[in-house]
């Protein structure tokens, strides 16, 4: 407990956030004393036949109060003060209506909405725009974009958002990077469940099928505290859309093929809903690709296959409901054959050769080295609305299996790495709305996690056996201060206990001085190895304070400060030895404490019918930032290896993103995106590794509404050369030639420019369904280039021209 209080007093910002938070709570409960006991009843009906519309959203703009109509189309707001109000009524299948209304006594109003079932598609997109956070500008990816990228991975889809890039290991493995941060610093939430899939690994891609997702948002503010306190980079929320409250069947079938990789996929989802609130949904995806190709050669062994499925069923009523969700994500993927390096000299040779050493004819075979991953997620959630708010409970279970097969001697076909990570969690969340435009969200959760590295691999464990117990509490409060000001504040406490068993090399245990620092961890000295039982407790506090100032209807300013605390991940704590795929020795540190990020962001957003502009600036001051640097060369029997150690130093990152879209004439659109990020160690201003280079995207598109909504667009993407990078190069002695050669793993590749073409068309089927045909040509000019954020850039270039065609039918 000592730890928690030190942290408490050390962080003035936390204190301020706390005080602020409680002050608001007090003000809120006292301020309220006018004539405010009117009730306002709204009935929403179909304009055509007068049938009641359930689940319509009625928003009182001035109060920022929202209500949903019940099965009879009614919603009642209590304790409304005497005043004029603007009401906004929306329904998933109807056009929104805004109307004004005077309340000076108990009031009833009937609203008629134009109800069009066959406009489902468009409307769903609109309804997806409900924000998670109202004080932090939130980046969203709509179903539309997801559909255009349905043959891709999550990492690639997220790249469409300004300020987000991806860290790749080849073509398929792609991890999102938010404002320069990734891996354990970016938390993924899949349908409310925090994804636990060995995300610390730089070559581990998130286990989510984008075809199972209807909406993705990226949040960095108070609302993220509901999900995690350690999201130093941000939280990515992937969700399915809410099921409709009516008797209906809807879904779609999508098929796609692409020229590069000579493969494709098929994906389908089917939802049946009943007006009683019951529903079920099935979704499945199959993908298969062969070797990808650069403009000049085949990248041997880069194909993959993916099989995913998800099932959901439940009851969705206004005041109570539950759902059961299961998803399976499994893939099997080849790693570039030539990226298997053993020593520093192998990498020097690869860099010198520029093209892979092994180039074979195109093939669909997935040979060694390869990865096989399967991720099971089971979730059970229920909610009920009480007079104090909506209470929900969630239990989830995840099992992540990761097998990595490496080139091994002696006909060994078993994996070199075989990890099973199981996570159970139980959470209770409360959402309360108060009379004076304020909301309280609070919750409590507990989690148990167990990692099991299978010893039958015959290879030293990279991540040890461990059990982890987490407990957390959070509370987020928001309030409309005045017409223009909206404030949000939150705080979260996380406790973690890690109980690990690990065999350390006795020589390393002693060289690191662990025998004196952590004698209590030693279980048994076995000579070559020492069995240890490291146990750690981490107490972390995270908090957030944000405000939105509305200059006008269409112009907003968002200001946000958030503090996130992240405990070191298993790799940072326990690494000790040769990491084969990187050909380097990686050493963690048992004495690390939590990394604390202070993120300040300021966003200006303005949008009207013709244009929209978003400018986002941020500064992220990270204390005890954990990162790896090469410290030495180490001789082993296999030759000399660079010796990389995890270090804990203060760091700073800052940057800004701009996005501007404008419509000219009636159907001509132009869009621009620009983002720049800089990251340094604070003590010596040395640049941080793997910072995304400056990039600029421009797009022009033209829409032909009369030609079945034909949309044609041209995108240009210019990525500058990263000119600031840490120099981690080494002179390595080549004994056979008796010379020193430079191991240059630092110098970034040159700038590159890509042009992409896209066209889409929508067609109505006779039975009322819709066809959508999408054509994309990426890297139109078949440019040969390398990408700084691709870990395999020493071995290969990037993909050449790729023509993608997808046809989807929705009903």
User: Contact positions toward other proteins, by CB under 8 A?
Assistant: 315, 320, 322, 340-343, 345-346, 349, 357-358, 380, 382-384, 393, 395, 397, 407-412, 422, 424, 426, 448, 450, 453, 455, 457-461, 464-465, 467, 501, 503, 505-508, 511, 523, 526, 528-529, 531, 533, 577-578, 585, 634-639, 641, 735-736, 738
- Between 384 and 764, CB nearer to other proteins: 384
Report in angstroms how near the CB of residue 732 gets to other proteins at its nearest.
Answer: 11
Report in angstroms how near the CB of residue 634 gets to other proteins at its nearest.
Answer: 7
- Between 376 and 708, CB nearer to other proteins: 376
Report in angstroms how near the CB of residue 763 gets to other proteins at its nearest.
Answer: 43
- Between 261 and 464, CB nearer to other proteins: 464
Q: Contact, 743 vs 347, CB < 8 A?
A: yes
- Tracing tokens 């008629």 back to the chain, one arrives at 112
386, two tokens? 């009480």
99, two tokens? 């109307």
- Between 320 and 678, CB nearer to other proteins: 320
437, two tokens? 């435009």
- Which of 396, 124, 73, 386 lies closest to 243 in space, CA to CA? 124
According to the 3-state scheme, what is the secondary structure of 504-528?
EEHHHHHHCCHHHHCHHHEEEECCC
455, two tokens? 């010893």
> For residue 97, how far is the Cα from the chain centroid?
33
Cα dihedral 366, 367, 369, 374, rounded to 10, equals 40
Q: How far apart are CA 24 and CA 22, in angstroms?
A: 5
Q: Do the strands 595-607 and 215-219 form a parallel or antiparallel pair, or are they unpaired?
A: unpaired
397, 576, 577, 589, 733 from 513: Cα distances, Å = 39, 14, 16, 11, 29
807, two tokens? 């046809």
Report in angstroms how near the CB of residue 491 gets to other proteins at its nearest.
Answer: 26
Q: SS3 of 258, please?
A: strand
Q: Contact, 623 vs 612, CB < 8 A?
A: no
Q: Cα 549–551–555 angle (5° rounding)? A: 95
- Between 465 and 724, CB nearer to other proteins: 465
Report in angstroms how near the CB of residue 206 gets to other proteins at its nearest.
Answer: 24
Within 10 angstroms of residue 513's Cβ, the number of other Cβ atoms is 10
Q: Cα 471–472–477 angle (5° rounding)? A: 170
494, two tokens? 């996380």
- Which of 649, 651, 659 lies closest to 617 in space, CA to CA? 659
- Between 152 and 370, CB nearer to other proteins: 370
- Between 625 and 795, CB nearer to other proteins: 795
427, 468, 672, 687 from 441: Cα distances, Å = 13, 26, 37, 39
- Between 350 and 758, CB nearer to other proteins: 350
> Angle 12-30/2-10 helices, nearest 10 degrees?
80
Report in angstroms how near the CB of residue 735 gets to other proteins at its nearest.
Answer: 4
- Between 506 and 593, CB nearer to other proteins: 506
- Between 455 and 705, CB nearer to other proteins: 455
Report in angstroms how near the CB of residue 322 gets to other proteins at its nearest.
Answer: 5
Report in angstroms how near the CB of residue 186 gets to other proteins at its nearest.
Answer: 27
- Between 733 and 771, CB nearer to other proteins: 733
Report in angstroms how near the CB of residue 528 gets to other proteins at its nearest.
Answer: 6
324, two tokens? 């059961």
- Between 67 and 356, CB nearer to other proteins: 356
- Between 29 and 507, CB nearer to other proteins: 507
- Between 377 and 487, CB nearer to other proteins: 377
Q: How far apart are CA 436 and CA 458, in angstroms?
A: 63
- Between 114 and 346, CB nearer to other proteins: 346
Phi and psi at 132, nearest 5°, equal: -80, -40
Phi and psi at 487, nearest 5°, equal: -120, 145
Name, in order, each residue with C-beta under 8 angstroms of 393's C-beta and a sequence gap of 6 or more: 381, 382, 383, 426, 427, 428, 429
> For residue 656, how far is the Cα from the chain centroid?
19
Name, in order, each residue with C-beta under 8 angstroms of 737's C-beta and a sequence gap of 6 or more: none
Strand partners, 596: 565, 623
Report in angstroms how near the CB of residue 440 gets to other proteins at its nearest.
Answer: 21
Give the E-state strand segments of 3-69 in sequence order.
38-46, 57-60, 65-68
- Between 602 and 629, CB nearer to other proteins: 629
Within 10 angstroms of residue 708's Cβ, the number of other Cβ atoms is 15
Q: Contact, 115 vs 99, CB < 8 A?
A: no
Q: Do the strands 576-579 and 522-525 form a parallel or antiparallel pair, or are they unpaired?
A: unpaired
- Between 287 and 403, CB nearer to other proteins: 403
Q: How far apart are CA 195 and CA 498, in angstroms?
A: 18
Report in angstroms how near the CB of residue 537 gets to other proteins at its nearest.
Answer: 18
- Between 231 and 583, CB nearer to other proteins: 583
198, 400, 401, 549 from 374: Cα distances, Å = 12, 6, 5, 45
Report in angstroms how near the CB of residue 321 gets to other proteins at its nearest.
Answer: 8
720, two tokens? 């500058």
Report in angstroms how near the CB of residue 639 gets to other proteins at its nearest.
Answer: 4
Report in angstroms how near the CB of residue 326 gets to other proteins at its nearest.
Answer: 14
Report in angstroms how near the CB of residue 575 gets to other proteins at its nearest.
Answer: 11
Within 10 angstroms of residue 9's Cβ, the number of other Cβ atoms is 9
Report in angstroms how near the CB of residue 601 gets to other proteins at its nearest.
Answer: 37
Report in angstroms how near the CB of residue 278 gets to other proteins at its nearest.
Answer: 12
Report in angstroms how near the CB of residue 524 gets to other proteins at its nearest.
Answer: 8
Strand partners, 280: 272, 313
């Amino acid at each position: 407990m000592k730890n928690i209080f030190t942290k408490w007093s050390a962080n003035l910002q936390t204190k301020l956030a706390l005080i602020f938070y409680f002050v608001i709570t007090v003000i809120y409960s006292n301020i309220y004393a006018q004539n405010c006991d009117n009730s306002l009843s709204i009935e929403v009906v179909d304009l055509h036949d007068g049938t009641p519309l359930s689940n319509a959203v009625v928003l009182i703009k001035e109060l920022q109060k929202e209500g949903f109509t019940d099965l009879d189309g009614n919603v009642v707001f209590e304790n409304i003060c005497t005043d004029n109000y603007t009401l906004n009524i929306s329904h998933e299948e109807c056009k929104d209506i805004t109307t004004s209304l005077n309340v000076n006594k108990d009031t009833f109003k009937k609203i008629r909405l134009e109800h069009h079932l066959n406009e489902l598609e468009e409307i769903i997109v609109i309804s997806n725009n409900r924000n998670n956070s109202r004080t932090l500008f939130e980046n969203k990816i709509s179903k539309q974009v997801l559909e255009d990228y349905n043959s891709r991975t999550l990492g690639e889809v997220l790249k469409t958002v300004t300020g987000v890039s991806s860290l790749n290991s080849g073509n398929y493995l792609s991890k999102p990077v938010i404002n320069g941060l990734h891996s354990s610093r970016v938390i993924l939430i899949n349908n409310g469940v925090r994804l636990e899939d060995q995300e610390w690994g730089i070559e581990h891609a998130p286990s989510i099928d984008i075809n199972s997702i209807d909406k993705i948002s990226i949040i960095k503010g108070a609302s993220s505290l509901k999900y995690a306190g350690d999201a130093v980079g941000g939280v990515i929320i992937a969700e399915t859309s809410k099921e409709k409250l009516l008797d209906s069947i809807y879904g779609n079938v999508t098929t796609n093929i692409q020229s590069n990789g000579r493969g494709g996929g098929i994906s389908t989802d089917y939802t049946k809903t009943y007006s009683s609130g019951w529903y079920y949904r099935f979704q499945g995806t199959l993908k298969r690709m062969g070797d990808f190709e650069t403009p000049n050669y085949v990248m041997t062994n880069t194909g993959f296959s993916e099989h995913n499925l998800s099932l959901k069923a439940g009851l969705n009523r206004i005041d109570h409901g539950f759902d059961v969700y299961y998803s399976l994500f499994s893939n099997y993927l080849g790693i570039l054959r030539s990226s298997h390096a053993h020593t520093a000299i192998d990498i020097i040779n690869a860099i010198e050769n520029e093209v892979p050493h092994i180039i074979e004819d195109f093939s669909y075979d997935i040979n060694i080295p390869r990865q096989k991953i399967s991720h099971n997620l089971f979730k059970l959630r229920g909610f009920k609305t009480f007079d104090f708010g909506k209470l929900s409970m969630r239990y989830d279970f995840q099992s992540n299996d990761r097998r990595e097969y490496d080139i091994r001697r002696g006909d060994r076909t078993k994996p070199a790495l075989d990890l099973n990570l199981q996570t159970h969690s139980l959470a209770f969340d409360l959402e309360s709305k108060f009379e004076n435009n304020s909301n309280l969200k609070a919750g409590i959760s507990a989690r148990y996690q167990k990692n099991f590295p299978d010893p039958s691999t015959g290879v030293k464990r990279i991540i040890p056996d461990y059990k982890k117990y987490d407990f957390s509490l959070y509370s987020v409060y928001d309030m409309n201060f005045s017409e223009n000001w909206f404030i949000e504040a939150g705080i979260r406490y996380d406790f973690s206990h890690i109980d690990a068993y690990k065999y350390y090399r006795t020589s390393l245990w002693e060289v690191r001085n662990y025998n004196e620092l952590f004698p209590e961890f030693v279980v048994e000295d076995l000579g070559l190895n020492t069995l240890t039982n490291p146990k750690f407790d981490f107490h972390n506090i995270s908090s957030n304070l944000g405000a939105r100032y509305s200059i006008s209807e269409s112009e907003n300013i968002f200001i946000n400060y958030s503090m996130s605390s992240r405990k070191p991940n298993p790799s940072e704590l326990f690494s000790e030895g040769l990491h084969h795929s990187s050909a380097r020795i990686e050493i963690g540190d048992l004495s690390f404490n939590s990394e604390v990020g202070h993120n300040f962001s300021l966003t200006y957003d303005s949008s009207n019918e013709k244009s929209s502009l978003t400018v986002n600036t941020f500064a992220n001051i990270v204390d005890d930032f954990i990162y790896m640097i090469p410290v030495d060369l180490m001789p082993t029997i296999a030759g000399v290896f660079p010796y990389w150690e995890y270090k804990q130093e203060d760091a700073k990152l800052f940057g800004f993103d701009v996005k501007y879209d404008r419509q000219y004439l009636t159907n001509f659109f132009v869009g621009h995106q620009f983002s720049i990020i800089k990251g340094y160690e604070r003590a010596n201003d040395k640049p941080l590794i793997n910072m995304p280079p400056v990039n600029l995207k421009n797009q022009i598109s033209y829409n032909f509404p009369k030609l079945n909504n034909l949309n044609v667009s041209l995108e240009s993407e210019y990525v500058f050369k990263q000119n600031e990078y840490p120099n981690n190069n080494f002179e390595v002695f080549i004994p056979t030639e008796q010379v020193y050669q430079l191991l240059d793993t630092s110098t970034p590749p040159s700038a590159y420019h890509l042009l992409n073409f896209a066209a889409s068309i929508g067609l109505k089927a006779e039975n009322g369904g819709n066809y959508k045909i999408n054509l994309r040509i990426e890297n139109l000019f078949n440019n040969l280039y390398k990408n700084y954020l691709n870990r395999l850039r020493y071995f290969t270039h990037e993909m050449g021209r790729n023509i993608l065609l997808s046809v989807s039918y929705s009903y």
